[in-house]
Structure 1
Amino acid sequence: MRLTIASGVAAFTAAILLYPLFQGGGWLWTSLGAVLAVMAAGLLSSRLSLPAWAAPLVAVAATWIYLTVAFAADKAWVLLVPTKASVVELARLVGVGWADIQRFAAPVPETEGITMLTAGGVALIAIAVDLLAARVRRAALAGLPLLALATVPATILSDPISWPAFIVAALGFVSLLIADGRERVGHWGRAVLVRRTRAATSPPPDGPRAAADTSGLRLSGKRIGFAAIVLAVLVPAALPAMEPVSFFTFGVGGRGSGPGNSISIPNPIANLKGQLELPERRVVLSYTNNDDQPRYLRIYALDTFDGQQFGMTQPKGAPQNRTENGPLPAPPGLGTDAKTTNVVTKIQISEEIAQLKFLPLPYPPRQVRVDGDWRADVDTLMVFSTREEAAGLEYEVATSEPAATPDLLDSLSGERPGTDPRFLRLPDNLPPEIAELATSLTANASTDYEAAVRLQQFFTKDGGFVYSLRTQGHGNSALRDFLLRDRTGYCEQFAASMAVLARLVGIPSRVAIGYTGGTKIGEQWQVGTNDSHSWPELYFEGVGWLPFEPTPAGAAGQGSARVPEYTQPRPEATATSSTAPTPGASSSSADEAQDPSARRNPREVDREGTVATSGLPPDDSTPLIVQIGIGAAALLLLLLVPAGMRLISRNRRVRSLGWKVSEPADELTAAMVSGPSGGHPAVAAVWAELDDVLYDYGMARHTSETPRALARRLIQQYEFDAESAAAITAIASAVERVLFAKNAGRIEPMRKDLRTVRQALGATVPRGRRIRAVLLPPSTLRRLRGFGERLLDGFDLLENIRLRRTAAQKGS
């Protein structure tokens, strides 16, 4: 029975590790009920001596009954016995719970379905633990199902497991191993518990007796278990941060890898429409830049189209692409022939933004200066984090924006050597009418750029489209109705439709979601929820990805959306003039285009340009050698903790040695009972310090030695000179007078005597031992070890109480 109870305790403590996955605590108590049901079934199986294979069946039946009572009692017979209706209800909750898990990101709300699935899963773990530990008698193997519970939050959440929760779970497993050990020892007879006391460890007055000391055997398992827990908590905290491997870090591995420490990515499209439908405008962020021009701020880049809607391929955030490492990867497709404009933007995110792990950025970012672990995806230059959130964040971003012109884009048409095929991929079941529309709209276009401009004009001018949020659906039929019949939608449908049409005519495309440039208020641009927006980005080899704007101008709620100047009709007089690189941005004398021959590597920081344009401050990150030095210093300080404790205790004792106090008669009894520490403070201090000095030098006082015998041994064994012999004799005499004399009389200061004895003892030991006595004093380590043993004794308390009760029952 002991193993059954210990198995249930271990399963429940391991289930506590799941707490970060839920918003409340109701699931925990429901899971506790499931574990108790499994424990009751296990106790019944043990009582009836059922075979090992039958116990799990009884536990499953008990779990079924418990879940019926907890979630389908109104459909069960007498609230307890399962019926067909209750089984159907539980099956429905399983489906609902599974759908909720797929729909929500951690921490998930405590819906009825999720709570039932959690309780059932914990019950299955408890059944597996009981089977391995109590039935098959393989308690160590029972750690595997417990480990399964620990891996759930470890693989879903970016934050590490809380160390208090880990300690609780580890103690549960250690208690299971201890119970298994006691069960095995019990087969050979009843275990006898011996309390470790000073009397038990000291030899009896009439001489030593032969006795078996089993305390070491009894405590070895506990010591190993506690040592392992302490090391598991302290060692990772002391070690420097390491890069996690691919299966534990979001986006480090290649595409298609498991989620790892996956971050919560809400549905960008649903979030976009939700912000646009808010009844009142709320400020999302504000920004300023060195040319004072509005710019679209992209958050997500959606690159896959499944026929229903656009989605996002899992980003890749390699360690070398951390923002703190300097320049970001080069923008895909940006060549040396395109002139660029350097702009620095300072952005402040509102505190009210929740669960945003991607930074709103103008495109293409060259360098981002932000606090925290933020990384750039190589293909899209989205900047995200698995640990941080953007709420309240302030950061700076430097961009190198290509100065696109119609002539330049015309000359780049058809060149796509570096394009990923996914930017052209479309489902096979796309309605043929949509492909026919794309072909007809671009029939007379001679270049990809001209085809892109005609597609944009189809949405903004020629097609008769109307902006409205009152639309539904994302499938092929909805896309066909939007393009060919209704022609009413909001920005997401305009962006997705143009991206699909561009792919149909061979232009790589993707959909961006973020915010338009916002509104100028005072000295800064302010972006609100009504500025949430979606737009297509088309790829042109040589300049990379360029935004287009198919949403009709002046649309309600999209007043800050602007058509890029490079898609406007070509000015006859200024056909080669520089245009703004992003929608809504215009040329400025502050950011003239750079000569391609004078451009540096796009991955290199332009320090001079940065300073000239009030750009990013110099990198002040701590060098690696300094970080190593700080870590080594912290480790050294940790190792010197015992030395510090010894120094503090020595100074405290030495300060008390200057007192001159006569021992009062009413304190003699306490002195005789509790030793020097209970009577005269100075005598207690000198005796404790002398005891520690002897232990540190490897000359520990024998338990049976009186103070006078100790002094005599030291004088003879180490050949003390006259002064040292007089000093140790004076100390011994003072201690004996406090312990045994009726009136201790006047006690002279003993600071000089203690110093003389310490110097005499130090002269007899090697230098290495003296150094160890200072840096790693054994006396302090002895106290720490004694504290740990007293802590371990607490685990014997319940067992001792049980034995005493048994003896009392026998006596009665």
Structure 2
Amino acid sequence: MRLTIAAGVASFTAAFLLSPLFQGGGWFWTSLGVVLAVVAAGLVSSRLSLPAWAAPLLGLAATWIFLTLSFASDKAWALVVPTKSSVVELGRLLAVGWADIQRFAAPVPETEGVTLLTAGGVALIAIAVDLLAARVRRAALSGLPLLALATVPATILSEPISWWAFIVAALGFISLLIADGRERVGHWGRAVLVRRTRQATSGTPSAARAAADTSGLRLSGKRIGFAAILLAVLLPAALPAMEPVSFFTFGVGGRGSGPGNSISIPNPIANLKGQLDLPERRVVLTYANNDNKPRYLRIYALDTFDGQQFGMTQPKGAPQNRTENGPLPEPPGLGPEPKINNVVTNIRISDEIARLRFLPLPYPPREIRVDGDWRADVDTLMVFSTREEAAGLEYEVATSEPQPTVDLLDSLDGIRPEVDPRFLALPEDLPQEVRDLAEEVTAGATTTYDAALKLQEFFTKPGNFQYDLRTQGHSSSALRDFLIRDRVGYCEQFAASMAVLARQVGIPSRVAIGYTGGVQVGERWEVGTNDSHSWPELYFEGVGWLPFEPTPSGAAGQGSARVPVYAQPRPVETTGTSSTPTPGASSSAADEPQSPTARRNIRELDREGTVATGTLPPDDSMPLIAKIGIGLAALLLLLLIPAAARLVTRSRRVRSLGWKVSEPSDELTARMVSGRGRLTVAAAWAELDDVLYDYGMARETSETPRALARRLTQQYELDAESAAALSAIASAVERVLFARDPGRIEPMSKDLRKVRQALAATVSRGRRMRAVLLPPSTLRRLRLLGERLLDGFDLLETIRLRRTAAQKGG
């Protein structure tokens, strides 16, 4: 029964490793309850002496009953007896829990499904541990299922496992191993030490009973276990970090309905409307770039349409897509044909921004320099974090913006877009009037690009649309009313409607939410809450995703909205040449000549090589080779600690050996001389003992100083001078130890140096190098110090035994 309880303790302590994955502590108590249920089932199995294969079945039955009581008691008979309805309910919760952990980023919310899934997993681990430890008697192998609990947070989280959780889990496993060892020795092992205990029974005299004394084994196990835990906690601090491999995918969350909404992302559309409705403008961020032009800063990319509004597929960021790992994934669909404008932008987020875990960025970002764990979604290049917030953040982003020409976009007609089908998906119940409107607006378009221009112009010119924040909400009828009847809305309605119409005519589309370019204040651009904006992005194979602007601009609409040059009406043929401004910039900003001073911001982001390569400026931080060098130097210093300690000890002893004793002039001086002489001899003897240990010539415990000198002289064939020096040291030691008056003590530094040189000549060069770099004498002291620390745990055991004996005696 002891092993069953120890297996339950080990399983529950290992469950502490899961704590960083959850927001609250409800899973903890549920896991405790399910482990107690498994332990109870194990105790029953032991009591009834059931076969090993029956114990796991009983444990599964106990787990089923406990989970039914905890999560489906209202559908069970007498709260605990499973029924068909309770089984269906548990299955539903398991499915919801699995969907939630795939949707959320750690730490996940404690929904019923997540808690059920966690408790069930811990129960399976506890059953496996009980089977291996208590039934099959393979306690060491039970560490494998316990390791599975550590694998989950290790592969999901970027941070290492919490040291305190590791120590708790390790102590639980060690207690299981100790319990297994006691069981083996107590029942089947050979009793080496026997202690007598008195066992009193009612009505009979006390009888003596002999039992195997396993306290030595228990204390040895504690020493080994505590030493192993200490090394496991301290040793990784001296090793380089390794990137975990993600076997489990945890998303970040997005828009959804019902239970399981995002825990880290507010509804992008509601947040957009809320900022536009603010009574006064507030600064959200400022930015500066190396061409001094305004740019749209995208935060979210909404790609799914459910018939009412656009939502976002949960972005996924693998460890290899961290911003600190270098360039981001390639922009989808971007080929070599369009001209690329490489820009570097410095962005500062206001401290007042709350709950923003996505970075506002120009599109498409190629490289980002930012502090914290930020990752890029491969499909959309949104950059997000599951644990950092953007408030108060300053970062730099390098973008490679395509500058397509009209001729290039026209030439892409007929090329099948290689994108995910979700960018073309529309609900089957989309109103027919909306479908007909898309065909009507794009009638006569000769190319896909021409159709996109006609859709944008429909909202800005012939459609007679009006900009107004007072809208009717989101529904299929609201979409139809906006397009067919009312034609009044704000940027979200314009962007979503154009994206829906584009999908209807076969153009992949999505809706972007972020900020327009803002206004220029000094040498930086200032973006406020009134610059919150939504715009459609259409996909063209060979160029990628391009923003369009169907929302009216100016005083009658979104004031800072700008129509990209490629999305403006087809230019009229002129005799001159014109440049193609950056997407997202206004025509006025594009046509104005830029002076050298206007093109340079305060951070000088356009230093030589930056614009040409499209990469960030060189990092001023320490290069990798320097960091490696510092790490190696620190490791070398750590390894030289024993050598330094030996050198300090030797220097201190040598100083005392060189003390010269003069003839005493009075009784007080004689006592001082005698005391110093004894210290000199003690230092010489201690130094000689360390030298012998370092060279592998350790003194025998029973050897006297004279016998030691004689053995060393004969064994290593010392010359006469070295033998005399060794005899002088041995004679001084014997006089100090045994004589009433040791007499005159001569300086011993020369004698000791002569002996050390003679002994060193008899050993190999490798032994001499080891004596200098890793002196065994110093390592012996460190080992003895560690043993003394571990002996402190033995004192606790002794105190407990003494208290028990005192209680029995009382």
Tell me the TM-score range normalised by the shorter chain: 0.7 to 0.9
Residues 65 and 81 in structure 1, CA contact (< 8 A), matched pair in contact too: no
Corresponding residue of 2:709: 711
1:185 partner amino acid: V
CA distance in 1, matches of 2:697, 2:474: 86
User: Quick one: structure 1 residues 639 and 118, their matched pair in 2 at CA, closer, same or farther if it must change by over 3 Å?
Assistant: same
Mapped pair 1:587 → 2:566: no
Corresponding residue of 2:415: 416
CA distance in 2, matches of 1:44, 1:805: 33
Q: Give, in angstroms, the shift of residue 298 of structure 1.
A: 1.8
Q: Give, in angstroms, the shift of residue 493 of structure 1.
A: 4.2
User: What CA deviation, in whole Å up to 9, does each residue of 1:333-377 have, x standing for no partner?
Assistant: 3544x4454433211234455675543221234554445676666
Corresponding residue of 1:175: 175
User: What CA deviation, in whole Å up to 9, does each residue of 1:513-563 have, x standing for no partner?
Assistant: 322223434442233445333321123455443211233436999543333
Corresponding residue of 1:524: 524
User: What CA deviation, in whole Å up to 9, does each residue of 1:555-614 have, x standing for no partner?
Assistant: 99954333334434456586963353233442155669xxxxxxxxxxxx9974538999
Q: Give, in angstroms, the shift of residue 420 of structure 1.
A: 2.5
Which structure 1 residue ranges, 5 or more long, are not aligned?
196-212, 252-261, 593-604, 666-675
CA distance in 2, matches of 1:35, 1:792: 32
Q: Give, in angstroms, the shift of residue 713 of structure 1.
A: 2.6
Pairwise mapping of residues 112-131 of structure 1 onto structure 2 (< 5 A)?
118=118, 121-131=121-131
Corresponding residue of 1:255: none
CA distance in 2, matches of 1:410, 1:738: 102
Q: Give, in angstroms, the shift of residue 414 of structure 1.
A: 0.8
CA distance in 1, matches of 2:115, 2:219: 40
1:770 partner amino acid: R
Q: Give, in angstroms, the shift of residue 16 of structure 1.
A: 1.3
Residues 343 and 611 in structure 2, CA contact (< 8 A), matched pair in contact too: no
Corresponding residue of 1:153: 153
Q: Give, in angstroms, the shift of residue 423 of structure 1.
A: 6.7
Pairwise mapping of residues 278-677 of structure 1 onto structure 2 (< 5 A)?
283-305=283-305, 309-312=310-313, 314=315, 319=320, 325=326, 329=330, 332-336=333-337, 338-351=338-351, 358-370=358-370, 380-383=380-383, 390-404=390-404, 407-408=406-407, 411-416=410-415, 419-422=418-421, 424-427=423-426, 429-431=428-430, 433=432, 434-461=434-461, 462=463, 464=465, 467-468=468-469, 472-473=473-474, 479-480=479-480, 483-484=483-484, 490-541=490-541, 543-553=543-553, 558-569=558-569, 577-585=578-586, 586-587=589-590, 608=608, 610=610, 616-618=616-618, 629-630=629-630, 632-657=632-657
Q: Give, in angstroms, the shift of residue 225 of structure 1.
A: 6.0
User: Quick one: structure 1 residues 333 and 779, their matched pair in 2 at CA, closer, same or farther if it must change by over 3 Å?
Assistant: same
What is the SS of the residue equivalent to 1:443?
coil
CA distance in 1, matches of 2:792, 2:305: 62
Residues 250 and 386 in structure 1, CA contact (< 8 A), matched pair in contact too: no
CA distance in 2, matches of 1:703, 1:628: 47
CA distance in 1, matches of 2:39, 2:791: 27
User: What CA deviation, in whole Å up to 9, does each residue of 1:607-631 have, x standing for no partner?
Assistant: 7453899995335576666565555
Mapped pair 1:774 → 2:775: no
CA distance in 2, matches of 1:681, 1:334: 84
What is the SS of the residue equivalent to 2:425?
coil
Q: Give, in angstroms, the shift of residue 764 of structure 1.
A: 1.9
Q: Give, in angstroms, the shift of residue 146 of structure 1.
A: 2.0
2:583 partner amino acid: T
Residues 306 and 426 in structure 1, CA contact (< 8 A), matched pair in contact too: no
Residues 409 and 540 in structure 1, CA contact (< 8 A), matched pair in contact too: no
Residues 328 and 367 in structure 1, CA contact (< 8 A), matched pair in contact too: no
CA distance in 2, matches of 1:763, 1:194: 51
Q: Give, in angstroms, the shift of residue 699 of structure 1.
A: 0.4
Q: Give, in angstroms, the shift of residue 653 of structure 1.
A: 3.9
Q: Give, in angstroms, the shift of residue 14 of structure 1.
A: 0.9
Residues 295 and 517 in structure 1, CA contact (< 8 A), matched pair in contact too: yes
1:105 partner amino acid: A
Size of the aligned set, in residue pairs, is 756
CA distance in 2, matches of 1:154, 1:807: 46
CA distance in 2, matches of 1:111, 1:435: 40
1:425 partner amino acid: L
CA distance in 1, matches of 2:335, 2:275: 33
Residues 442 and 451 in structure 1, CA contact (< 8 A), matched pair in contact too: yes
Higher mean Cα deviation, 476-485 or 437-446?
476-485
Corresponding residue of 1:758: 756
What is the SS of the residue equivalent to 2:140?
coil
| CA-based RMSD | 5.3
CA distance in 2, matches of 1:493, 1:693: 87
Residues 158 and 387 in structure 1, CA contact (< 8 A), matched pair in contact too: no
User: Quick one: structure 1 residues 648 and 429, their matched pair in 2 at CA, closer, same or farther if it must change by over 3 Å?
Assistant: farther
What is the SS of the residue equivalent to 1:689?
helix
Residues 321 and 375 in structure 1, CA contact (< 8 A), matched pair in contact too: yes
User: Quick one: structure 1 residues 310 and 237, their matched pair in 2 at CA, closer, same or farther if it must change by over 3 Å?
Assistant: same
Corresponding residue of 2:600: none
CA distance in 2, matches of 1:318, 1:70: 37
Residues 565 and 579 in structure 1, CA contact (< 8 A), matched pair in contact too: yes
Residues 342 and 611 in structure 2, CA contact (< 8 A), matched pair in contact too: no
Q: Give, in angstroms, the shift of residue 94 of structure 1.
A: 8.8
User: Quick one: structure 1 residues 327 and 76, their matched pair in 2 at CA, closer, same or farther if it must change by over 3 Å?
Assistant: closer
CA distance in 2, matches of 1:566, 1:12: 62
Higher mean Cα deviation, 319-328 or 786-795?
319-328
Which structure 2 residue ranges, 5 or more long, are not aligned?
196-212, 252-261, 596-604, 668-674
Q: Give, in angstroms, the shift of residue 698 of structure 1.
A: 0.2
Residues 129 and 145 in structure 1, CA contact (< 8 A), matched pair in contact too: yes
What is the SS of the residue equivalent to 1:550?
coil
1:332 partner amino acid: G
CA distance in 2, matches of 1:745, 1:498: 109
Corresponding residue of 2:13: 13
Q: Identity over the aligned pairs, expressed in percent?
A: 73
Higher mean Cα deviation, 741-750 or 537-546?
741-750
TM-score under structure 2 length normalisation: 0.76
CA distance in 1, matches of 2:755, 2:531: 82
User: Quick one: structure 1 residues 16 and 736, their matched pair in 2 at CA, closer, same or farther if it must change by over 3 Å?
Assistant: farther
User: Quick one: structure 1 residues 383 and 113, their matched pair in 2 at CA, closer, same or farther if it must change by over 3 Å?
Assistant: closer
User: Quick one: structure 1 residues 323 and 784, their matched pair in 2 at CA, closer, same or farther if it must change by over 3 Å?
Assistant: closer
CA distance in 2, matches of 1:22, 1:95: 17
Pairwise mapping of residues 91-106 of structure 1 onto structure 2 (< 5 A)?
95=93, 98=97, 105-106=105-106
CA distance in 2, matches of 1:691, 1:50: 62
Q: Give, in angstroms, the shift of residue 496 of structure 1.
A: 3.0
User: Quick one: structure 1 residues 214 and 614, their matched pair in 2 at CA, closer, same or farther if it must change by over 3 Å?
Assistant: closer
CA distance in 1, matches of 2:703, 2:634: 42
Q: Give, in angstroms, the shift of residue 126 of structure 1.
A: 3.1
CA distance in 2, matches of 1:770, 1:184: 46
Residues 52 and 131 in structure 2, CA contact (< 8 A), matched pair in contact too: yes
User: What CA deviation, in whole Å up to 9, does each residue of 1:422-447 have, x standing for no partner?
Assistant: 37531462526132221111113233
What is the SS of the residue equivalent to 2:563?
coil
User: Quick one: structure 1 residues 446 and 167, their matched pair in 2 at CA, closer, same or farther if it must change by over 3 Å?
Assistant: same
User: Quick one: structure 1 residues 515 and 686, their matched pair in 2 at CA, closer, same or farther if it must change by over 3 Å?
Assistant: farther
Residues 272 and 532 in structure 1, CA contact (< 8 A), matched pair in contact too: yes
Q: Give, in angstroms, the shift of residue 297 of structure 1.
A: 1.0
Q: Give, in angstroms, the shift of residue 327 of structure 1.
A: 8.8
CA distance in 1, matches of 2:365, 2:153: 33
Residues 409 and 449 in structure 1, CA contact (< 8 A), matched pair in contact too: no
Which one of the candidate residues 697, 700, 723 is aligned to 1:699? Answer: 697
